[in-house]
Amino acid sequence: MAAEKNIPIRWTDAIDKKSTTLARTRISAEGLAIIEIRGDLREQSLAFLAATIVHESYHAVYSQSCNYSTDRLCLKKYVEEEAAAFALEASVYQATPDRFKNNSDLDKMQQEIVKRWYEKRLNDLVLSISGYQAKVFGEPLAVR
């Protein structure tokens, strides 16, 4: 069995600051996972960054390689994968001492994720985020 490779974590300016994407896991041309975090997030709290990294790390080791648009089972697994990544994110954020948190909008978002985790509503959270709606439904859902 080959030894596992380290998963690099990189700051990037390639993610549009206007998008809802804060970080992503992408696969390199060599087939290796790379975690990228938006460069403007460098000054965020340690709690936020740790939670974000653990979320993306989950994707790096457990990612679906199927067609979401045609495979309903794959789509279900995608939502479950995102919910599991959010559960890890919430548990890390919650376990981090308060002195490593702040009152930024992104920390408030983390607090909402923790709340949904406690309520066992992470699947609902995944389906409420426009970026995930686009992946699941092909486009964000119209607000009614």
What stretches of 1-144 adopt beta strand conformation (E)? 9-12, 23-27, 33-38
- What pLDDT was estimated at residue 80? 86
pTM for the whole thing? 0.82
Nearest to 55, CA basis, from 29, 30, 90: 90
Q: Predicted confidence band at 141 (pLDDT cuts at 50, 70, 90)?
A: very low
Q: Predicted confidence band at 55 (pLDDT cuts at 50, 70, 90)?
A: very high
Mean pLDDT of the chain: 84
Boundaries of every domain in the chain: 9-137
